[in-house]
Structure 1
């Protein structure tokens, strides 16, 4: 397995804890570090890399929109390509949210499983869940010595995304809000027509078993707050329980989608933010943890200031 030199952002996670009796400095909270990040440390997300899902209004008539950022190259691109084709064909219009399992996932697609799919969708194999190692200056990781990842040899970030690394290569991680592809038993790997998002504790056991294709960057509350399904695995048992999907479009096909940006994971501000998440020293905390699971270091994403 290739080993790249760890950069300061992730090396900070394993830094020795300060002696509390000697630490009289006032430390900023992670949110304060993010708020003070320089404009040049934020990276724009292209509208074409967004998937915009509009749900039927809630019981009070309020609109519900979920914005998903699609996974960048070279990860999961067969499934991402299918998702782009499905959105262009307006395939999800008239489908529904069909499952809400507590502390796990919310899932959507065609409840009947009879709706015809667009032609020429790609078929992927299980090997495509993992991307072979490649040397990239944008890949930063925390080595496994000292504080091992329970699911991988190492973990870190690539252009704003959490990844894990093992002997076979790199793969995306099932953190809160990540979007994956529903499938049947192997060798089926799913087309991308059936999607889910994580709404509970990170189910890392799914890594390398299901394709991850993106993450919810706005509107997760419209999914995480849904009533839990009473059927097996949280599926809704009655049609009226399902939430209708009005439309799903790529971001560059939506006139009023806002611009988004993420905090550069190679920036000094992200290094300070990651350290603050791993070692909370702001006034509320008495004992810094001395480390953090990668899913407890969510990459900051915000609407771009006008």
Structure 2
């Protein structure tokens, strides 16, 4: 697993290590307050092989071992939204560490949408499976660092960003790396118009703010390594979708036309029924096994 570390820049700046998941193109983060060694895990993947519906936690275990070698105390297990392209490891990580797990409060609305899609009324209860459901503007501590939650809809209506300290923002599926553009907005209740507003809100952060994205899919124009960190100034100047002051109308046209060409992620219909349970598989049936429910001809 490829890893990269962005060092702390001072007392109010976290150290951030990224772990790249090749199978899903996902970027997972270990965020550290250097003064207390308190740590948060953000968007960690539960391994999944869609060919045989097999799940495991090798990736999450490797990240925990990395944290243990550094003498870190994992206080938070955080997700930015119920992911469509990977299963989350939140429940397992909470069990392993005793840390609080959290996600955005609007996940309740998304749970209702997907309970209908799966025809599983009452199956999802975010208040049961997450310790904290964060409202827009919520604040909490990571050691000595302040963390602020920013509602960031568009990719999903429940997406949030975490602003950690004075110079790090975890912006998930909003911006892609600066040479790629932005994320899709065509999932149920997604909106390219809302995503444009989210992108502009992120661009109001200080220019030097480090932006840590949710995905990358190299190679990109000769770049072989995953791109995971940029800055507000970089994105404002160079992002091909919104950089240079592109208008809302230009962005919506570009995004909607691009999204119309995209297939659903191959893990999506597996992932949502797990992620809306905080990373837990469906309850085991009488034979002791869990079973996925996949809607046919519905998407």
TM range (shorter): under 0.3
TM-score by length of 1: 0.26
Mark the structure with the bigger radius of gyration.
1
Q: Which has the higher contact order (CA 8 A, sep 6+)?
A: 1
TM-score by length of 2: 0.27
